[in-house]
Structure 1
């Protein structure tokens, strides 16, 4: 890691169906490339039924093989917004690389994905997408606090990235940057929990309807499109989530 680069954590969100085919190889790749990096694994529970005890035992056993890997586990299904928020809150550092679990991180000719990432972070110190996607992005925790955490009223999966993108622009009058880099492959698996109603692919019908019918309204005057289909204005205001996190960041060294 370049000396001038601030330390950062890795946050991975995952669930039972993606353990063997995706999480197992992804974590091995991360720890091969950066053995001592802090990794927060946020493990979602099922939307229907009970948490699989065999999966619980297997994932905890697997994570324990590696140093500095810390699980956060939910017994029942939680929103992706909550998983991202809790991952960022749990991370020890002010910057985090947020990853879906269906990714492959590669190495070739003596260079690995993290070499590319850290070069990008040295010139883009704030939040940015990788290759235009929120399947993999870096998050500046202080920017997250200023914009407002990912909206946990989005109870399923989907739209949390577009909502944050819209609010980021509203706050800073600029779009979240995107940095192109190689040695990362997004599989975009359609493996999903069976217990919630789907809209587009794995995204929740609930989330899309909440965004389109309640939180935002299309407009012909002003507004901003961002990642949405049309220009919109915000109709439903945000509650302040995790209001004491900034106090914690600014005072934790006084303990």
Structure 2
């Protein structure tokens, strides 16, 4: 039996090429295991094409089959950093399970993935990676605000997790923990939008160059490595993103 933590939401980021192969089975798994869990589906648009109207109709029809699934849709391509931020902002709860769409959530011998997750969430407070990966992680909204939202200057995909990890350590002088949780598999699909320039696998060349050439500099002394290749210091300061979110969280009950 699972231990029930405080309420939480699920955010899934997705796009047209992964609808049938990945999103359809993933959402079915989530809703078979936790039918009333709030799910925010953040749907990205194409980088250099018109939004597929058939896909728009199909995904909205599919999401409408399930209770408590709320779509956020972008007509044109947006950064993964923005998708994660908007998903977190949309979620009703302060803890959020953020998922890539290419995952398999299993159930075996009467135990499902969410049983394992909720036991872990009751024992581990705050933000944590699952099985060492940002393909699936728990995000604490208060920590997101304190550390600073995912950097939306990373206009494509990639490096947003390493940048947040680095800044989390700078803020709290500790690393984001990782918790081992069973019954979840990362398929690691190579299906990607064709309209942006790739670097490593599906990651954006732009993002890697921004991190390595503009935001951080290799540290000759001191610095911190985190998820990066070398120890670095931050040389480009962060702007405050979504500055009124704290005010909203503190005052929303007064409305």
Q: Same fold (TM over 0.5)?
A: yes
Are 1:56 and 2:56 counterparts? yes
Superposition misfits of 4+ residues, deviation over 6 angstroms: none
Instruction: Summarize the alignment of residues 14-25 of structure 1 with structure 2, pairs less than 5 Å apart.
Output: 14-25=14-25
Match of 1:185 in 2: 185
Match of 1:138 in 2: 138
Residue 125 of structure 1, CA deviation: 1.6
Distance across 1 between alignment mates of 2:148 and 2:209: 21
Match of 2:224 in 1: 224
Match of 1:168 in 2: 168
Residue 49 of structure 1, CA deviation: 1.1
Are 1:104 and 2:112 counterparts? no
Match of 1:89 in 2: 89
Do the aligned residues in 1 keep the contact of 2:112 with 2:183 (CA within 8 Å)?
yes
Distance across 1 between alignment mates of 2:148 and 2:123: 24
Distance across 2 between alignment mates of 1:242 and 1:2: 33
Match of 2:3 in 1: 2
Do the aligned residues in 1 keep the contact of 2:94 with 2:142 (CA within 8 Å)?
yes
3-state SS of the aligned residue for 2:136? strand
String of CA shifts for 1:136-159, please: whole Å, max 9, x gaps: 000000000000000000000000
String of CA shifts for 1:53-112, please: whole Å, max 9, x gaps: 000000000000000000000000000000000000000000100000000000000000
3-state SS of the aligned residue for 2:225? coil
Match of 1:12 in 2: 12
- Residue segments in structure 2 that go unaligned for 5+ positions in a row: none
- Residue segments in structure 1 that go unaligned for 5+ positions in a row: none
Do the aligned residues in 1 keep the contact of 2:3 with 2:115 (CA within 8 Å)?
no
Match of 1:119 in 2: 119
Distance across 2 between alignment mates of 1:65 and 1:82: 26
Match of 1:73 in 2: 73
Distance across 1 between alignment mates of 2:128 and 2:117: 11
Distance across 2 between alignment mates of 1:105 and 1:39: 15
3-state SS of the aligned residue for 2:121? helix
Residue 227 of structure 1, CA deviation: 0.1
Do the aligned residues in 1 keep the contact of 2:151 with 2:160 (CA within 8 Å)?
yes
String of CA shifts for 1:177-201, please: whole Å, max 9, x gaps: 0001110000000000000000000
Please, what TM-score do these two structures have when normalized by structure 2?
A: 0.99
Instruction: Summarize the alignment of residues 145-160 of structure 1 with structure 2, pairs less than 5 Å apart.
Output: 145-160=145-160
Distance across 2 between alignment mates of 1:216 and 1:124: 31
Residue 2 of structure 1, CA deviation: 3.3
Distance across 1 between alignment mates of 2:67 and 2:3: 21
Please, what TM-score do these two structures have when normalized by structure 1?
A: 0.99
Distance across 1 between alignment mates of 2:207 and 2:66: 35
